[in-house]
Amino acid sequence: MIADYYSGIQHIGLPTNDMDATIAFYQKLGLTPAYETKIDCRVCFLRRGNLVIEAYENGAAVLNSGAVDHIALDCTDINAAYSEAQKAGFEFEFDGIQTLPFWKNGVAFFKIIGPNRETVEFCQIL
């Protein structure tokens, strides 16, 4: 079975028109550049634990939601995370923490907007 050959997300690809702004944004979220190179374009892998984002500066990022719908981060304390995101001055997709009736007890989440108009979701299973 194909599932025997993968164990989760290896990285999330993100086109950008401004690599420096992209790196700065994800560093504010706690990721650190793990590897950077330039082949046809500048590429930077940003890492925190097993989360890896591959940003590539191709000059063709549409700067609209859709290239990457969202990146969901597994949150352990949604209230503390929301407070920290407010302090950091991130742009929010909507005000406040939202809930949905997913899983047994629901989920709580909020979303911020990155420099390429990508959505980063903080989600806690309740």
Q: What is the pLDDT of residues 1-53, one digit of tens each?
A: 546 777 657 788 889 999 999 999 999 999 999 999 898 899 999 999 988 89
* Pairwise pLDDT comparison (66 vs 104), residue with the higher score: 104
Q: What contacts 16, CB < 8 A, 6 or more positions away?
A: 22, 55, 56, 57, 58, 61, 115, 116
Given a cut of 50, is residue 97 above it in pLDDT? Answer: yes
Report, as an integer, the average pLDDT of 68-97. 89
Q: What is the pLDDT of residues 106-116, one digit of tens each?
A: 889 899 999 98
Q: What are phi and psi of 4, to 5 degrees?
A: -70, -10
> What pLDDT is stored for residue 75 in this prediction?
86
DSSP class of residue 2 equals: G
> What pLDDT is stored for residue 2 in this prediction?
46
d(C-alpha 73, C-alpha 110), whole Å? 10
Q: What is the CATH number of the domain that holds 105?
A: 3.10.180.10
Number of domains in the chain: 1
Q: What is the pLDDT of residues 53-79, one digit of tens each?
A: 989 998 888 887 767 767 888 888 899
Domain that holds residue 12: 2-125
Q: Is 3 helix (H, G, I), strand (E, B) or coil?
A: helix
> What pLDDT is stored for residue 34 in this prediction?
93
* Pairwise pLDDT comparison (120 vs 18), residue with the higher score: 18
Using CB atoms within 10 A of its CB, is residue 29 exposed (0-12), middle (13-18) or buried (19+)?
buried
| pTM over 0.85, yes/no | no
